[in-house]
């Protein structure tokens, strides 16, 4: 192993858990997350000499992970959801016994919205950093964050009990067949 390779291994060992966790929240299962993280590291190794500078390297890793994930999500057939748990995103009001998890709720967002949520609220990136990584404007990130949080709120029940009737009713208002609030 050369010195550059030693350096890469050191970086990869430190970055791998973090990349895999972010990938997991993006795609919903550990196998795919592992694949995404590995693909990211492989691509980085290929260009390692050019990207060794410390402060760019983490951003590069995140950008590569996101591009790999988003490219993969575009290839999916319409209706196919990137999670091992949920066969379909909830298109109807969930039955009272079903307790929706955060992964299932994330699955109802578009890949880009999901990426915004994970970057902002898991990786704790600022709006500017998120916008730079996703190649969109900060304004776009801000509105996507707010919308995504609204949707997640309606789906998630963080009480220990069953979903409340009001939450189901509110979620009902956002399903096909209903108009927005007046």
Partner 1 sequence: MNETSLRAQLELAVSAEPPLGLLVGNSLRAGRKHRRRRRTAGAASLSAAAIVLLGAVPALTTGPGHQAGRSRSAAGRHPAAASTAYVATSKGTVVPIRLATNTPGAPIRVPEGMPGPFITKSAASADGRTVYEVGDTSGGATVTSIDTATNTAARPITIKGAYGPLAFMLAPDGKTAYLSSPGGLFQVSLATSTARRVTGCSWSGCQAIALTPNGRALYVISGDKSVIVVRTATNTVLSRIKLPANSPGSPLNIGITPNGKTAYVVDAVAGAKPGTNSVVPINLATNTPLPPIKIWAPGLADGLVIAPGGRTAYVLSSRGVTAIDTATNQAEATISLPEAAGNAYYMVLAPDGKTLYVLTPRGIVPIRTASGTVLPTIEVPHLTTFTVIAISPDSRRIYVGAAISHRASGRRWPKIVTAGVVPVNTATRTAGRFINLGGDPFSIAFGQ
Regarding 102 and contact with partner 1 (CB under 8 A), the answer is: yes
Q: Which of 95, 102 has the CB closer to partner 1?
A: 102
CB of 109 to partner 1, least distance (A): 10
Side-chain-side CA neighbours of 132 within 13 Å: the count stands at: 9
| C-alpha neighbours within 13 Å on the C-beta side of residue 103 | 17
Q: Which is nearer to partner 1, 73 or 138 (CB)?
A: 138
User: What is the CA 111 to chain-centroid distance, rounded?
Assistant: 7
Angle 50-51-53 from CA coordinates, rounded to 5°: 115
Radius of gyration for the chain, computed over Cα atoms and rounded to the nearest angstrom: 19
Q: Is 97 in the site for partner 1 (CB under 8 A)?
A: no
Nearer to partner 1, 49 or 76 (CB): 49
Separation CA 167–CA 158 (nearest Å): 11
Among 7, 60, 93, 94, binds partner 1 (CB under 8 A): 60
CB 33 to partner 1: min, Å: 9
170 near partner 1, rule: CB under 8 A = yes
- CB neighbour class for 60 (10 Å; exposed up to 12, middle 13-18, buried from 19): middle
Residue 70 within binding range of partner 1, rule CB under 8 A: no
In the complex, the smallest distance separating the C-beta of residue 75 from partner 1, rounded to whole angstroms, is 20
Question: Of 4, 76, 84, 150, which lies in the binding site for partner 1, with binding defined by CB under 8 A?
Answer: 150
């Amino acid at each position: 192993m050369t010195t550059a390779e030693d350096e890469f291994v050191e970086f990869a060992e430190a970055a791998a858990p973090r990349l895999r966790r972010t990938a997991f929240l993006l795609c919903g299962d550990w196998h795919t997350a592992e694949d995404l993280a590995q693909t990211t590291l492989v691509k980085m190794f290929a260009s390692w000499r050019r990207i060794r500078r410390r402060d760019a390297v983490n951003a590069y890793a995140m950008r590569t992970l996101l591009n790999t994930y988003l490219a993969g999500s575009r290839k999916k057939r319409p209706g196919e959801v990137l999670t091992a748990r949920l066969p379909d995103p909830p298109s109807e009001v969930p039955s009272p016994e079903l307790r929706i998890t955060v992964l299932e709720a994330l699955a109802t967002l578009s890949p880009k919205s999901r990426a915004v949520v994970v970057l902002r609220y898991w990786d704790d990136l600022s709006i500017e950093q998120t916008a730079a990584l996703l190649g969109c404007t900060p304004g776009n990130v801000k509105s996507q964050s707010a919308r995504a949080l609204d949707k997640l709120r309606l789906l998630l029940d963080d009480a220990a009990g069953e979903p409340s009737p009001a939450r189901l009713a509110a979620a009902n208002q956002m399903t096909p067949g209903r108009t927005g609030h007046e």
